[in-house]
Structure 1
Amino acid sequence: MSIYVGNVSYDATEEQITQLFSEYGTVSRVSIPTDRETGRSRGFVFVDMESVTEESAAIDALNGIEWLGRSLKVNQARPRS
């Protein structure tokens, strides 16, 4: 399972995201998609954690909080179609 985090500040770094989510368990991967033309963050990220329990705890705790001036949208990532 992967976590989708939307409405993320364009200035957020992988380190900051890892630090935020590590309060709820071990972060195994952070992916920050970037725009092909500008190289700038697209405003959302994907986070993988060690267990489903940790991911659920992070989703419950972080969905809707304000972080770096933006209200985060945190939920389970949908599989690619």
Structure 2
Amino acid sequence: MLRIYAGNLPQDTTEKDLTELFSTHGRVRSIKLMHDVFSGKCKGFGFIEMEGHEARAAIAGLNGKEFRGNLIRVNEERKETRGGPGGRRPGGRR
């Protein structure tokens, strides 16, 4: 299972919209669309989980494509590289 980052999404994007978009490349296992606490609008990004080969097909097929007026960014989720408090990296400098 791979977790995909989708960014530069329009503010009115819904989970249904993303499901329809990504399901053209395989089965969408889950979607987490990030919303603004106050307005309830999409913050412009979300995360999609798909099986590995389907996720890679979605990344290759959708990254840089136009989605409702925006060129979306689609890639494999990157794990946070910063460590605990203060943003220190493990074993490194600030």
Report what 2:21 is aligned to: 20
Q: How many residues align?
A: 80
Instruction: Give the letter aligned to residue 63 of structure 1.
Output: N
Identity of aligned residues (%): 39
1:47 Cα offset (Å): 0.6
Report what 1:59 is aligned to: 59
Report what 1:71 is aligned to: 71
Deviations 1:4-23 (A, max 9, x none): 00100111111111011001
- What are structure 1's unaligned runs of at least 5 residues? none
Q: TM-score, normalised by structure 2?
A: 0.79
In angstroms, what is the RMSD of aligned CA positions?
Answer: 1.1
For residues 7 and 19 of structure 1, the distance between their equivalents in structure 2, rounded to whole angstroms, comes to 17
- What are structure 2's unaligned runs of at least 5 residues? 83-94
Structure 1's consecutive aligned runs of 4 or more residues displaced over 6 angstroms after TM superposition are none
Considering Cα pairs closer than 8 Å and 6+ residues apart, tell me whether 1 or 2 has the greater RCO: 1
Q: TM-score, normalised by structure 1?
A: 0.91
Report what 2:42 is aligned to: 41
For residues 14 and 37 of structure 1, the distance between their equivalents in structure 2, rounded to whole angstroms, comes to 18
